[in-house]
């Protein structure tokens, strides 16, 4: 009888490949994209430049960045059929389901769909960044009862996203904040959605299929879906004074507090630290709802750190503070996870293209613990 191997549930602690794209230092709470710390990029860079970095492994010079932005702008238009599907879908449809379905449909209209050359994959990666933003904005404008707003190629990536979503040119400050949020979400090593994209890619399937797999994986509340779930919890708490009783009850009932904890970070997630700075500014917001959510979030953070921070290694992650920040920007909760996908596309594509350079089929083992050689009993005898 074979002896039972060690089983790593959830592949916890297992290295499956090497990469220089991203380092997540879970002990010291540090994150690097191609060696640049997230704090350095947040302070000095922007989402478009960071996308170039993730796809090319280096920062662009001025003319490269300008060409990259032009290509992004030229790829924003959606096939009319996809806009029609969004508009024909049930208003109650889950926004991530709609994003996953319509993103998948893009392959039907893409002449590069089944070209797996490096050049075609780079073209598709840039195209995906533009089109997933347009799809997400179209879902949002449809849900809010507005007409589809055609993209404006004179605008930057984030500015155009907000323009397509709301039908009006956003303020520079709004663009700056959302650009930072996109940059912070652009990449995170071998997280579940990136791994899922790589699993699909490793069969030598195509980039559309791989990113569709990643979108489906991101949806779950243990991953990208936590941002929306965290905001729902803040709404359920209702006021800062209720926070302690709510958290105590939830923990006593063994419920997880969404937006806390991480498989790799056993300390404060550096992205959450950066978003928290924005949240602290929102304490003085003129909008009562935003101010209330902000105070609930800050009260919950303090309580959770006191209870589970140092003792259990459960700290705020990137998804905890996003809700009040997005609410302040007027973004509805059902778009939080789709926007996570919009910002994660460069990271997904960068990893998949890199994995293909030395591709090996991902095919782990499962230990069989059932019976063998069971006797087949015909149906009438069971």
**Residues catalogued as catalytic:** 223, 262, 319
Q: 291 or 307, CB closer to ligand CMC?
A: 307
* Per-residue x/- track, 218-237, ligand CMC (CB under 6 A): ----xxx-x-----------
CA nearest neighbour of 342 among 31, 24, 99, 65:
99
Q: 98 or 231, CB closer to ligand CMC?
A: 231
Positions 244 through 263 that interact with ligand CMC (CB under 6 A): 256-263
CA nearest neighbour of 30 among 40, 43, 15, 20:
40
Positions 259 through 288 that interact with ligand CMC (CB under 6 A): 259-263
CA nearest neighbour of 2 among 373, 364, 367, 374:
367
With binding defined as CB under 6 A, does residue 96 bind ligand CMC?
no
Neighbours of 90 (CB within 10 A): 8
With binding defined as CB under 6 A, does residue 309 bind ligand CMC?
no
Q: 97 or 152, CB closer to ligand CMC?
A: 97
* Per-residue x/- track, 176-215, ligand CMC (CB under 6 A): ---------------x------------------------
With binding defined as CB under 6 A, does residue 60 bind ligand CMC?
no
Number of residues near ligand CMC (by CB under 6 A): 18
CA nearest neighbour of 215 among 325, 131, 90:
131
Q: Which residue has the tokens 């905890």?
A: 320
Q: Following CA atoms 82, 194, 70, 103 in sequence, which dihedral angle do they give, to the nearest 10 degrees?
A: 0
Q: Residue 20 in contact with residue 158, Cβ under 8 Å?
A: no
Question: Which stretches of the chain are DSSP H helices?
Answer: 38-44, 47-56, 62-74, 80-88, 95-105, 118-143, 157-166, 172-185, 192-201, 207-218, 226-237, 243-252, 270-282, 288-304, 310-312, 322-328, 336-357
In whole angstroms, give the CA distance from residue 154 to residue 73.
8
Region from 59-67, 96-104, 216-224, 363-371 binding ligand CMC, contact rule CB under 6 A:
216-224
Region from 172-180, 291-299, 316-324, 363-371 binding ligand CMC, contact rule CB under 6 A:
316-324
Least distance in angstroms from the C-beta of 21 to ligand CMC: 16
Least distance in angstroms from the C-beta of 197 to ligand CMC: 14
Least distance in angstroms from the C-beta of 27 to ligand CMC: 14
Binding residues for ligand CMC (CB under 6 A): 191, 222-224, 226, 256-263, 312, 314, 317-319
């Amino acid at each position: 009888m074979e002896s039972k191997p060690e089983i790593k549930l959830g592949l916890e602690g297992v290295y499956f490949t090497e990469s220089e794209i991203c380092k997540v230092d879970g002990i010291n709470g540090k994150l690097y994209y191609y060696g640049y710390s997230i704090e350095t990029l947040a302070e000095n860079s922007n989402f478009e430049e960071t996308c170039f970095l993730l796809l090319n492994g280096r920062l662009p010079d001025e003319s490269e960045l300008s060409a990259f932005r032009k290509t992004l702008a030229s790829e924003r238009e959606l096939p009319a059929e996809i806009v029609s599907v969004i508009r024909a879908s049930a208003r109650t449809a889950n926004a991530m389901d709609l994003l996953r379905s319509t993103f998948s449909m893009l392959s039907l209209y893409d002449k590069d769909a089944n070209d797996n050359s490096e050049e075609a994959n780079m073209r598709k990666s840039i195209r995906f960044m533009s089109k997933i933003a347009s799809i997400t904005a179209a879902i949002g404008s449809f849900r809010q009862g507005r007409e589809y707003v055609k993209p404006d190629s004179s605008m930057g990536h984030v500015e155009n996203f907000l323009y397509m979503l709301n039908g009006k040119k956003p303020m520079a400050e709004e663009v700056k904040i959302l650009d930072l949020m996109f940059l912070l979400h652009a990449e995170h090593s071998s997280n579940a959605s990136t791994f899922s994209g790589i699993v699909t890619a490793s069969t030598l399937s195509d980039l559309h299929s791989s990113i569709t797999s990643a979108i489906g994986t991101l949806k779950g509340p243990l991953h990208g879906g936590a941002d929306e779930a965290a905001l729902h919890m803040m709404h359920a708490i209702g006021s800062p004074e209720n926070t302690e009783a709510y958290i105590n009850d939830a923990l006593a009932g063994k419920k997880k507090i969404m937006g806390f904890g991480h498989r790799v970070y056993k300390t404060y997630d550096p992205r959450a630290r950066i978003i928290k700075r924005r949240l602290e500014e929102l304490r003085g917001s003129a909008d009562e709802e935003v101010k209330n959510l902000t105070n609930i979030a800050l009260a919950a953070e303090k309580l959770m750190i006191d209870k589970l921070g140092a003792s259990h290694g459960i700290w705020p992650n990137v998804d905890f503070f996003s809700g009040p920040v997005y609410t302040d920007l007027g973004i509805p909760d059902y778009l939080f996870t789709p926007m996570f996908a919009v910002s994660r596309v460069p990271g997904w594509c960068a990893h998949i293209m890199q994995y293909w350079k030395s591709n090996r089929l991902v095919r782990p083992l499962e230990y069989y613990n059932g019976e063998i050689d069971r006797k087949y009993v015909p149906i009438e005898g069971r």
